[in-house]
Amino acid sequence: MEILNETFKEKPRNLWKGVNGCKYQNYVTISSTKSEEIDDKIIYIEDLEKRKEVYGICGECNEPGTGWSWCRLCNSKRFKENFKNWTSGNKDIDELLQHSQLNAVHYRNCLEWIPFENFQHVTYITRGGFGKIYSAEWPEGCVLYWDIENQKWHKYTNIKVALKSLDNSSDISTDFLNEIKSHLEIYLFDIIRCYGITQDPNTKDYMMVLKYCEDGNLRNYYLKNPEENDMKISILSSIADGLLGIHNAGKVHKDFHLGNILVHDGTVYISDLGMCQSANNEEQSTSNRVYGVLPYMAPEVLRGYQYIKAADIYSFGIIMNEYFSEEIPFNGVPHDHILAIKICKGLRPKISEDTPKLVADLIMKCWDVKAENRPTSKELSQILRKWNEEIYDNYDSEIYSQMEKYKKIRINKLKTRLGENKSENVKTHPQAIYTSRLLNYKNLPEPVSSSNPSSFQFNSDAIPSTSANPISECLDVQLTELDLNEIGEKENNVER
């Protein structure tokens, strides 16, 4: 009789029904600009009825899901039962990974311990500011959801990943754990995904397992694809959305530059959350240690002021200008104390005469010397999304007209250097450094404007001619002989 009952026992069924894909995208991105009914800081939906509508109902416990085919209640039990089957060998890492699995409301904020032997074809790529980067193949892949019918994890298999080690992370550091925690708190589609942690068996360094981006960073992408101008506003809009998500989570990035914007199949991702921390972190005000890439750093940060959200906006302005001009900022000069002084005195990278007026105006607002005058990430996101929509839907709009002129100019310039490889022609000063490092410059002047860039007016009927660039001229700064003498006297006090 028991055998007969077992034969007719009802098999587990999939009951994930009623999932609303359109609303799902809005909710997981947190951004209130995409759905005004969502509060800025909501990470997952609290209202049970709305969760049923968006995520459906779990076929095992009949409770609303917390993410796409994801039930936090059931999955946490499964993960907990499996804790005895793995360990990283480090108590802090074990606790962090276990916490993520017990509390994951979505597959993107569920981290795994991944034994190093699970990877294939591990290959060294490059060295960053604080560690090494490798590529690898991961045949087994990451967890996506629990297959109720077959009672097993459904995985995204055969993934190519990046393995990021931090220097001396065999003795696990606070910085390493903080970067992992940032990925748990900011699991947006515009932020590079972290799958979990592994350990190099030779060096014993712990490594983050991240999404691999075939096209490299945004600088590599535009240098290799100089003809692709149609997507620039769209790509900047995605970057602004990612930055908005970071700020909505109460964080600041603190190391925001083009090298940390990665590209894969035309999609951009913000990466390197190593210095990402609370916007109200009291430690910032007590530490005068400044890290970053000098050309992208706001003048008040160089002066040692607390890093606030507006400093990320300044960096976004530098990113936007480089992307449109396709000129690396300050690549022809040493990134030293003199350049830091010039930036504090109002020096900014040149804005190309090709740049559409609306874009140039927004760039200058972002790098305004007064942090309070810069737009917020929400305003940036709204402006760029509006422009992007107008480019595709409103051919009478000003941004469409200006972008069409921009593209024609870029195409003509590209034709003149047909057959040349621009990436091979970029001349960079040997002391121009584009990886993050300690920049403790002393005795920098109070940040000021060299002039009033916003007072410059473009010709409203056309993009400025190539004969002159008034914007570039008004943003340039010259140091007097007295300034240079003062710099020489102060160099002994500079900590590098």
Q: What is the pLDDT of residues 415-441, one digit of tens each?
A: 776 655 555 556 789 999 998 888 888
What is the reported pLDDT for 30?
A: 38
Identify the pLDDT of residue 461.
36
98 shares its domain with 231 = no
Of 44-48, 195-199, 323-327, 367-371, give the lowest mean pLDDT range. Answer: 44-48
What's the pLDDT tens digit per position in 267-281? 999 998 877 777 765
Residue 474 lies in a domain: no
The total number of structural domains that make up the chain: 3
Is residue 451 assigned to a domain?
Answer: no
Q: What is the pLDDT of residue 172?
A: 61
354 lies in the same domain as 262: yes
Q: Are residues 411 and 336 in the same domain?
A: yes
pLDDT of residue 44: 52
Mean pLDDT is highest, among 29-38, 56-65, 179-188, 454-463, for 56-65
Domain end residue (candidates: 171, 194, 211): 211
Q: Do 33 and 155 fall within a single domain?
A: no
Residue 90: pLDDT over 70: yes
Establish if 476 belongs to a structural domain. Answer: no
Q: Residues 136, 189: one domain?
A: yes
Q: What percent of the chain has pLDDT over 70?
A: 75
Q: Per-residue confidence at 302, pLDDT binned at 50, 70, 90? A: very high
pLDDT over threshold 90, residue 185: no
The answer to whether 321 touches 349, Cβ cutoff 8 Å, is yes
Asked whether residue 479 is domain-assigned, the answer is no
More confident residue, 127 or 374: 374
* Same domain (yes/no): 339, 386: yes
CB 144 within 8 A of CB 154: yes
Are both 252 and 127 inside the same structural domain?
A: no
Sign of CA dihedral 253, 258, 259, 264: positive
User: Can you give the residue range of the structural domain that contains 201?
Assistant: 70-211
- Tell me the average pLDDT across 450-464: 39
Average pLDDT over residues 460-466: 34
Residues 70 and 105: beta-carbon distance below 8 Å: yes
Are residues 362 and 243 both part of a single domain? Answer: yes
Calculate mean pLDDT across residues 89-108: 92
Looking at the fold, whether 196 and 330 belong to one and the same domain comes out as no
Q: Is the pLDDT of residue 126 over 50?
A: yes
Range 184-212 average pLDDT? 89
327 is written with which tokens? 């000129």
Instruction: For 57, list phi and psi in degrees, rounded to 5.
Output: -120, 135
Residue 229 is assigned to a structural domain of this protein: yes
Question: What's the CATH number where 195 sits?
Answer: 3.30.200.20
Residues 254, 307: one domain?
yes
- pLDDT (mean) for 249-275: 91
pLDDT category at 62 given cuts 50, 70, 90 is confident
Q: What is the pLDDT of residue 448?
A: 85
Give the model's pLDDT for residue 181: 85
* Mean pLDDT within 62-90: 92
Q: Which of 192, 211, 230 is the last residue of a domain?
A: 211
Residue 308 has pLDDT above 60, yes or no: yes
Which two three-digit tokens encode residue 88? 């990283």
Q: Is the pLDDT of residue 8 over 50?
A: no
Residues 306 and 396 in one domain: yes
The tens digit of pLDDT for each residue in 13-24 reads 556 765 555 444
pLDDT at 171: 57
Selection from 75-84, 241-250, 487-496 with the highest mean pLDDT: 75-84
Mean pLDDT of 203-230: 91
Tokens linked to 401: 């007209």
- Does 205 share its domain with 222? no
Q: Report if residue 312 sits inside a domain.
A: yes
Can you tell me the mean pLDDT for 382-394? 94
HSE toward the beta carbon, residue 393, CA cutoff 13 A: 6
Residues in the chain: 496
Q: What is the CATH number of the domain that holds 388?
A: 1.10.510.10
Tens of pLDDT, residues 348-357: 999 999 999 9
- Rounded to the nearest integer, the mean pLDDT of the chain is 81
- In this prediction, residue 275 carries a pLDDT of 75
Identify whether 309 is part of a domain: yes
70-84, 149-163, 341-355, 438-452: the lowest-pLDDT one: 438-452
> Does residue 460 form part of some domain?
no
